[in-house]
Chains A and B, each alone.
Chain A
Amino acid sequence: MKYHLDHLEELESESIFVIREVAAQFENPVILFSGGKDSILMVYLAVKAFYPARVPFPLLHIDTGHNFPEALEYRDWLVDHFKLRLEIGSVQKAIDEGRIKEEKGFNASRNGLQTFVLLDELEKGKYDAALGGGRRDEEKARAKERFFSHRDEFGQWDPKNQRPELWNLFNGRKHFGEHFRVFPISNWTELDVWRYLAKENFSLPNLYYAHKRRVFERDGVLLADCEYITRRPEEEVKEEMIRCRTIGDMTCTGVWRSEAATIDEIIEEVATSRLTERGGRADDKRSETSMEDRKKQGYF
């Protein structure tokens, strides 16, 4: 009998501890569900944390209206499979009601609008903790993020005024109107997520596996051809073998040329890949510190 955990077991244990801590310290938590593998992992860990009881928080999906249909299909399967509750915040509805304005132009994206709807939903639902699938290795701005990240009453993040986190003692105390973002999988890397999901033999959206799709190239990023993107005349659509490394809004989720059709091939690909998964996100390319700027405004 060995008395040590391997690194995936230790990460799992840490995340489950954090998720249980949220249930114990907050009254009305919610899981932010984006549809991607990180939020799928988080949901799966939450299921484990409370089994055989049901997950005591709902999922909140901010629906931009520009989703991959496969992602929605998967979301509904997941909710049904684990008997979860799902809340949806609709960007389309907020646009229709004139509360926000759609971006115009070729690179129009609903990413910025998502933040507005998210904050709106958090306020409406009176949620005091929102669990997100952010990982510290994803991006420079996230390297200093805490597990329990304090947000002021405007949902803003102040990188200079974060609570220190020591040992496994998390301080979720807050004033009325404030809330927390909690990142249970902070310490996982992309490869850890894949290795773990493979080990657990858990179902994932087909989008992650190589498949044929009609795509075109814009500014070095490969995008799926869809009704939500206006193509320039010179942008030519071709059918290619691709897969998603992240799943988000169709207008800004770059897809990758890949032959990786099995989970082992994906792990192999991720392990040897020379580009970060965010390398394919059109929204991060806008400026060197764009992620940080969006975070300050309350983005996931």
Chain B
Amino acid sequence: MSVAKSLPHDAARLHVTGAARYVDDIPTPADTLHLAFGVSTIARGQITAMDLAAVRAAPGVVAVLTAEDLPFANDVSPSVHDEPLLSDGAVHYMGQPLFLVVASTHLAARKAAHLARIDYAEETPILTVEDALAANSRFEEGPRIWEKGSATAAVAAAPRVVSGLFEIGGQEHFYLEGQAALAEPQEGGDVIIRSSTQHPTEIQHKVGEALGIPMHGVRVETRRMGGGFGGKESQGNALAVACAVAARLTGRVCKMRYDRDDDMIITGKRHDIRIRYRAGFTEDGDVLGVEFWHYLRCGWAQDLSLPVADRAMLHSDNAYCIPAMRIESHRLKTNTQSATAFRGFGGPQGMVGIERVMDHVAHDLGIDPVALRQRNYYDALGEGGLSAPRASATHPPEGISQEKKDNLTPYGMAVEDFELHGMTARLLESAAYDARRAAVADWNASNDVIKKGLGFSPVKFGISFTLSHLNQAGALVHVYQDGSIHLNHGGTEMGQGLFQKVAQVAASRFGVDLEAVKITATDTGKVPNTSATAASSGSDLNGMAVKAACDTIRDRMAAHLAELHQCAVAQVRFDRGAVHVGAEVMSFAEAAHACYLGRVSLSATGYYKTPKLSWDRLRGQGRPFFYFAYGAALTEVAVDTRSGENRILRADILHDAGASLNPALDIGQVEGAYVQGAGWLTTEELVWDERGALRTHAPSTYKIPACSDRPDVFNVSLWDGQNREETIYRSKAVGEPPFMLGISAWLALSDAVAACGETYPALDAPATAEALWHAVRRVRDA
């Protein structure tokens, strides 16, 4: 079987030879036109005059379009039609596209875009949480509030209470391939779009609206992206629509790619969030009640902000069964880029909230922060026996309450697959936690300049789209008469290895080698009405849909071959490239040919929808997730207290991918996600000035982790469990969950700063060197 094997990425050979084609690498005709947006230079106001004469006269310019020139819909929103492609006169953020330049080269288009003279009636922008609250500028009528028990009463009655308020910054996706799209006009007004997108169906839909044609006139193809991370779920709409409109106008192939600065200035990022909390707990460390207030800056358009903010609420418990919790979530509308999907989709923000609470409580009580967490974990309920016993040799938290917990999340879903007791015990042992905790304490007792810290954080991440109807997928599989197999499904490949994993499923179903399976580009003409490749759902959904398609063909083949050779269908087996029919053995190719001659259809679609979901988002009640994926990380850091400069010395990770479809790819996801998560909370700082200009719009000013930042020691392993739910080969989704393991790096920094004094460091995120420098002073001077 091909599944469960560590096979390399399907395009690895193309990648290492430079032959893998991304959108900007696709050969185009010599007369291809290139597009660029002219963007606003204020954050809020009205355009009073737009003089584009110099733009039109610039060398190489073929056409310049404003909102009035658009033939049909002027909208690229994935949700509520509030995102004009080109400004309709109102300016909502600095960097908003106002007009579109169509020119002979990329450079000519970009240069011309800077020649416009635009007059504005400028208004005071709403930039900060305070601004937005003061103006009651928000999405939805008021805050969403979900509650389990009465948290306010629980906190009030608790023996001890901590409270605080802190900020968590946003994050630029920094997919190394910027947004890009290409439109090729076809006969009869149809168009083919090649787009670097996680959501081809959405592109098809928006292009259709913009051209005034049904979706059947638009075909969208996506072979691969140079990284997505959620940033290509909706943010590619503008480029694809612009190309389609320009291609319709000129009859020529049109291409658009954002230069890095444009990309960072125009597109949305991870939501930043301010979290206020109050937590009540016992002297022993049982957390009795927590109240959270979330304030998310969503930017100017709704985009995906509601489900992102929901998911932040849905992860406010993380791994902890807290008897009473109240979460109030404010989705604020600000004059900044429209914040969008980013790996974890709000989950990380919510999780940082509760991890901060746990950290603060442990500090307040002087209890080991890992023991405190274990004490408050959900109970391991499952009968399957997949978890190691909860009382571990390494860390039996003393006096752990033996009362059974209700194991209900704040939104009323029962946690039935909790793996973290066993995982935590295993990780603490393999990472020698107790010894290193003591060593760090010794070090800190005798060193004043360099302080070390240890941080532990668990992850429990809910898998499924919270918009239940998105949890469906389709596939299309053909078997050709030579036994080769054509595979197509609705998922997109952004580097996560989805195509390879799904091809492994197909090869396993037919009992053939992977080489027999041709992986093909995602194509709205082959599989329609797909969901975005997002919410980590790619292999879960598409793997199942492909399995269904393969099984349909395999059953047809088996029935025909059984009849041909006069045996029972049950006696037909597909195994290692051969088909056994009773006593006969033939190659898969021979079997396929025989079926073709026997007039058996060798093509099938497959379809899957996730079972068991029911969710009422307004009440915050139900089962939004099919299952949870788990992980645990321990990070050690060193901080130079004179400068705030810091290093991750060691990271140990144990992650739950169920029965992994491909351990090499999954470990790769875990490593990359951890580093990206740690980057979010440490070095990646987005800065807007008081006019609303994003000042960090290039890698020179926005610092993502580099090779030199990688932990010196980096131990990553997979937990050898199985998904208790019936997923594809009992695997678990792995794209997003490990991102939140990076929280342990932030906690480790907090631990190191805490070693400078008695006070709780109360770090914001990102904990940049500068922020740490200040924090050290705060703690020392207190």
A binds B: no
List the interface of chain A (C-beta within 8 A of B).
none
